[in-house]
Amino acid sequence: MKLMKCVCIFRYGGPEVLAYEDAPCPHPGDGEVLVRVHAAGVNPVDWKIREGFLVEKIRHTLPLVLGWDVSGVVHSIGGNLKRLKVGDEVMSCPDVARDGAYAEYIVIKESEVALKPASVDHLHAAGLPMAGLTAWQALFEHGALAKGQRVLIQGAAGGVGSMALQLAKWKGAFVAGTASEGNHDFLRKLGIDQVVDYQRERFEDVVGPVDVVIDTQGGDVQERSWKVLKPGGILVSVVSPPSETLAAQFKARGVFFFARSDIGQLAELAKLVDSENLKVIVETTLPLSDATRGQELSQRGHARGKIVLRVV
Ligand SMILES: NC(=O)c1ccc[n+]([C@@H]2O[C@H](COP(=O)([O-])OP(=O)(O)OC[C@H]3O[C@@H](n4cnc5c(N)ncnc54)[C@H](OP(=O)(O)O)[C@@H]3O)[C@@H](O)[C@H]2O)c1
């Protein structure tokens, strides 16, 4: 039996439950590919699942390999494949209900795998799928953001925020965003129109009425966000369902969603990277064996851009 290195959990808990282990290399079934992982992105959902926060929503079998952002090369294929072949350089945001990508190999459904952008390496491609899809779906599917409209991005320097900022600028919107002071120059370089230091001022005092708010924070930040929305505007949260009562009070709408894998959107995101309209900012790179450190950094809640694990 061929073994591979992986980072998995045998029980839910803090960073100490992460185990760097040898495990059997999985095999692709019908409609699936086996990807040799070159790099795996770290996302907040990884430590949330590790801690058992999503145990009511997703039924995992333990042990579970974590990590649901990947870039690598198709190593072998199962039956009935329609698009992919051995040797393709690919990326994916695979199903979070299955084993993830903190591993040397991962089996993924072909329907969740897209070709990686040719102009960037695997480390950068691994930072794109989950944050890119979340930002795309928040802005364009739920927010229906159009050219000339105004958007406020809460947490603009993070993984989702830094993608949303660039995608909204590409669409031709006015973009305001919140971040701590140390991230302001970073956001200006990405083209932000107005940056608010959330530690020094209240965004609702300085941001003019907007059509769309993208909420990556929840709690008090989400509640105060209604105040900056135009009547008829929309608060799109990727963290928690907005209050229907407040939506009615401010004559606006609120929506919460979980991002879904969409290979058409991944192909669009790859095109934007290759045409230099979208940058994947990888701020921290760590070896797979240091996944614990990657999750600790993510859990602090102040990541700039992406944290990525190098596997090859
Ligand atoms: N629903 C979904 O499908 C989905 C998908 C992806 C992510 N998410 C969720 O979305 C959230 C963000 O994900 P992410 O990957 O972007 O996280 P991340 O990369 O860790 O970014 C967090 C960002 O939040 C900023 N921040 C912290 N406190 C803030 C505050 N009070 N006001 C404004 N900004 C603040 C930090 O900036 P500073 O350092 O400047 O403070 C940091 O850049 C997580 O909770 C994640 O689980 C949900």
Strand arrangement, sheet containing 229-237: 194-197, 174-179, 150-154, 210-215, 229-237, 253-256
Best residue among 48, 282, 302, 307 to mutate for probing ligand 1, ranked by most atoms within 8 Å of CB: 302
Q: Which atom of ligand 1 lies nearest, measured to the CA of 304?
A: 43
- pLDDT band, residue 64 (cuts 50/70/90): very high
Is it the case that residue 167 has pLDDT exceeding 90? yes
Mean pLDDT calculated for residue range 191-200 = 98
Instruction: Mark whether 20 and 120 lie in a shared domain.
Output: yes
Query: What separation, in Å, do the N-terminal and C-terminal C-alpha atoms of the chain show?
Result: 21
Asked if 18 and 77 touch (Cβ cutoff 8 Å), the reply is no
Q: In the chain, which residue ranges form alpha helices assigned H by DSSP?
A: 44-51, 122-125, 129-136, 159-171, 184-189, 203-206, 219-225, 244-249, 263-274, 291-299
Asked if 273 and 252 touch (Cβ cutoff 8 Å), the reply is no
Find all residues with CB under 8 Å of 51, minimum gap 6, and list them. Answer: 12, 13, 14
Quote the CA–CA distance of 75 and 37 in Å, as a whole number.
Answer: 9
Is it the case that residue 168 has pLDDT exceeding 90? yes
**CATH at residue 217:** 3.40.50.720
Residue 266 lies in a domain: no
pLDDT at position 54, please? Answer: 87
Is it the case that residue 301 has pLDDT exceeding 90? yes
Bridge-based pairing of strands 64-65 and 32-42 is: unpaired
Asked if 126 and 254 touch (Cβ cutoff 8 Å), the reply is no
Residue 189 lies in a domain: yes
Instruction: Mark whether 123 and 8 lie in a shared domain.
Output: yes
Using one digit for the tens of pLDDT, what is the confidence trace for 243-298?
999 999 999 999 999 999 999 999 999 999 999 999 999 999 999 999 999 999 99
Percent of residues, the chain, with pLDDT higher than 70: 100
Residue 137 lies in a domain: yes
Instruction: Mark whether 60 and 94 lie in a shared domain.
Output: yes
Using one digit for the tens of pLDDT, what is the confidence trace for 68-93?
999 999 999 999 998 999 999 999 99
Instruction: Mark whether 99 and 119 lie in a shared domain.
Output: yes
**CATH at residue 287:** 3.90.180.10
Q: Which atom of ligand 1 lies nearest, measured to the CA of 306?
A: 19
Before 129, cis peptide (omega within 30)? no
Residue 263 lies in a domain: no
Residue 58 lies in a domain: yes
Task: Describe the chain by its helix, strand, coil percentages, rounded to 5.
Answer: 30, 30, 40
Residue 206 lies in a domain: yes
Cα(179) to centroid(ligand 1), Å: 10
Taking alpha carbons only, the member of 29, 45, 36 closest to residue 70 is 36
Quote the CA–CA distance of 125 and 90 in Å, as a whole number.
Answer: 9
Bridge-based pairing of strands 3-9 and 64-65 is: antiparallel
- pLDDT band, residue 230 (cuts 50/70/90): very high
Best residue among 128, 141, 180, 299 to mutate for probing ligand 1, ranked by most atoms within 8 Å of CB: 180
Q: Is the CB of 295 under 6 A from ligand 1?
A: no
Question: How many structural domains comprise the chain?
Answer: 2
Instruction: Mark whether 154 and 237 lie in a shared domain.
Output: yes
Q: Which atom of ligand 1 lies nearest, measured to the CA of 137?
A: 3
Determine the distance from the C-alpha atom of residue 39 to the mean position of all C-alpha atoms in its chain, rounded to a whole number.
15
Instruction: Mark whether 202 and 111 lie in a shared domain.
Output: no
Instruction: Mark whether 8 and 80 lie in a shared domain.
Output: yes
One-letter amino acid for residue 174 of the chain: F
Predicted structure pTM score: 0.98
**What is the residue range of 122's domain?**
3-127+281-310
Q: Is the CB of 259 under 6 A from ligand 1?
A: yes
Instruction: Mark whether 181 and 210 lie in a shared domain.
Output: yes
Using one digit for the tens of pLDDT, what is the confidence trace for 6-49?
999 999 999 999 999 999 999 999 999 999 999 999 999 999 99
Cα(76) to centroid(ligand 1), Å: 35
Instruction: Mark whether 112 and 200 lie in a shared domain.
Output: no
Instruction: Mark whether 234 and 203 lie in a shared domain.
Output: yes
Residue 111 lies in a domain: yes
Q: Which residues of 180-195 are buried (b: 16+ CB within 10 A; e: fewer)?
A: eeebbebbeebebbbb
Mean pLDDT calculated for residue range 113-131 = 98
Quote the CA–CA distance of 31 and 119 in Å, as a whole number.
Answer: 28
Q: Is the CB of 179 under 6 A from ligand 1?
A: yes
pLDDT at position 1, please? Answer: 87
Best residue among 93, 139, 160, 178 to mutate for probing ligand 1, ranked by most atoms within 8 Å of CB: 160
Taking alpha carbons only, the member of 30, 6, 5, 44 closest to residue 307 is 44
Asked if 192 and 156 touch (Cβ cutoff 8 Å), the reply is yes
Instruction: Mark whether 137 and 228 lie in a shared domain.
Output: yes
Place of tokens 């992982």: 37
Residue 203 lies in a domain: yes
Instruction: Mark whether 199 and 107 lie in a shared domain.
Output: no
Supply the residue whose CA is at minimum distance from atom 23 of ligand 1.
Answer: 158
